[in-house]
Amino acid sequence: MIILKVIYIVRERESNSEEKRLFAFSTLFCRRFHSETDQNGMWWPCGRNGGSSFSSSSTAEQVTEGIDGTGLTAIVTGASSGIGAETTRVLAMRGVHVIMGVRNVVAAKVVMEAILKEIPNAKVDAMELDLSSMISVRKFALEFISSGLPLNILINNAGIFGTPFKLSEDNIELQFATNHMGHFLLINLLLDTIKRTTHESKKEGRIVNISSSGHQWLNYRGGILFDKINDESSYQKFCAYGQSKLANILHANELARRLKEEGVNITANSLHPGAIATNIHRYNRILTGIPGVVKRLLNLVIKNVQQGAATTCYVALHPEVRGISGEYFADNKIAKANSLGRDIDLAKKLWDFSMNLIKVEYLVPIVDADGILRE
């Protein structure tokens, strides 16, 4: 592939071994989607979903066309940029009341203003949420529950990628803390609200975890280093990212199993949005330091933001997904996670491990048995 060869020439001499591993993953990813054609001979740089309603080139607007989300309320984390912002825009376009869970409220307000300028009757609000901080997650959940709003859809989109080693304020490796633990706690705190909304509205609740195909290639041996989550000497930034994305899948799978056992009308799924150029890559010079001409060539083999948000909006809103739970999606269809992502015992182990990482006081129900809010 010419594009990848150009990048290789540019980066080979200055990339360390871990960056070369990321490059190898990118090569495999692009080869998979490079030259697929449909029955009319049309080239689809990102591949095509043969025989189904949508393809990997479909946009979020296209996969939700004709769907009326009026009366639904959704939370989208990491909604101030990238696919989170586009997901918010398109859900709002379909009538959904969207709550943006964001670290940067100022940036979120800019997104909100743009949405309202395009869609004057859109219902969009922003609330501060730092998923690396359990205090922040609980504060967000308390404020949301205090608002009295229903909750039909929870989209766990926020994430960081390939950061240097750092512990969160809760002393958990930062990527694992942000990408997995923050969302794990958030779901635990808001699940009763989703259940109540589902019961009162008679509408299916949906929980969506944004994962990545990186869980297949960028991971540690065994998938998750339970005994070395916070071990700096074992830390590899891209493997740590893959570990957290595998956790997103396992979390959704185990949650789906528990919800099915409980008999509630709530689904939980995970998905890969596609290879997208967003600011999640800001920590990695192999992805941010590529010359402009190469970036333009890369645009032929990666999705734009509108396409990148499509699978999220599809899983969150489309009637075709009704009743489907515990699945992994890519390109607007059910896909297949790797063997670790389908490991039932590993999912259960991760659930217990995650519960043990959360301080007891953060798990105290926000609403008591009498319906009284707790601080």
Paired tokens of 81: 């940029």
For residue 175, the surrounding DSSP H or E stretch is helix 174-176
Tokens, residue 249: 């899948």
Taking the C-alpha atoms of residue 178 and residue 353, their distance in angstroms, rounded to an integer, is 16
How far apart are alpha carbons 21 and 236 in whole angstroms?
11
Q: Is 283 a catalytic residue?
A: no
Q: What is the pTM for the complete model shown? A: 0.85
Q: What is the largest CA-CA distance in the chain?
A: 65
pLDDT of res. 45: 41
Token pair for 132: 């690396």
Q: Please tell me the predicted confidence (pLDDT) of residue 371.
A: 62
Instruction: List, in order, residues 6 or more apart from 132 with CB less than 8 Å away.
Output: 168, 169, 170, 174, 177, 178, 182
CA angle 180, 107, 127 (to 5 degrees): 60
Q: Directed axis angle between helix 310-317 and helix 82-93, to 10°?
A: 40
Q: Given CA atoms 113, 119, 121, 127 in this order, what sign does their dihedral have?
A: negative
Question: Each residue's pLDDT tens digit in the chain (375 positions)?
Answer: 333 433 433 444 444 555 555 545 454 444 444 333 333 333 334 444 433 589 989 999 999 999 999 999 999 999 999 999 999 999 999 999 999 999 999 999 999 999 999 999 999 999 999 999 999 999 999 999 999 999 999 999 999 999 999 999 999 999 999 999 999 999 999 999 999 999 999 999 999 999 998 867 777 888 899 999 999 999 999 999 999 999 999 999 999 999 999 999 999 999 999 877 655 444 445 455 555 555 555 655 689 999 999 999 999 999 999 999 999 999 999 999 999 999 999 999 999 999 999 988 888 777 765 566 666
Give the pLDDT confidence score for residue 216 in this predicted structure: 76
Q: Give CB contacts under 8 A, 24+ apart, made by 360-365.
A: 362/134, 362/135, 362/137, 362/138, 362/185, 363/185, 363/188, 365/192
Which residues, in sequence order, are bridge partners of residue 210?
271
Candidates 220, 235, 314, 328; catalytic one? 235
Task: List the chain domain ranges.
Answer: 62-276+305-360
Q: What is the pLDDT of residue 213?
A: 81
CATH of domain 62-276+305-360: 3.40.50.720
Enclosing H/E stretch for 153: strand 153-156
Cα(184)–Cα(156) distance, integer angstroms: 9
pLDDT for residue 373 = 65
For 254, the enclosing helix (H) or strand (E) is helix 237-262
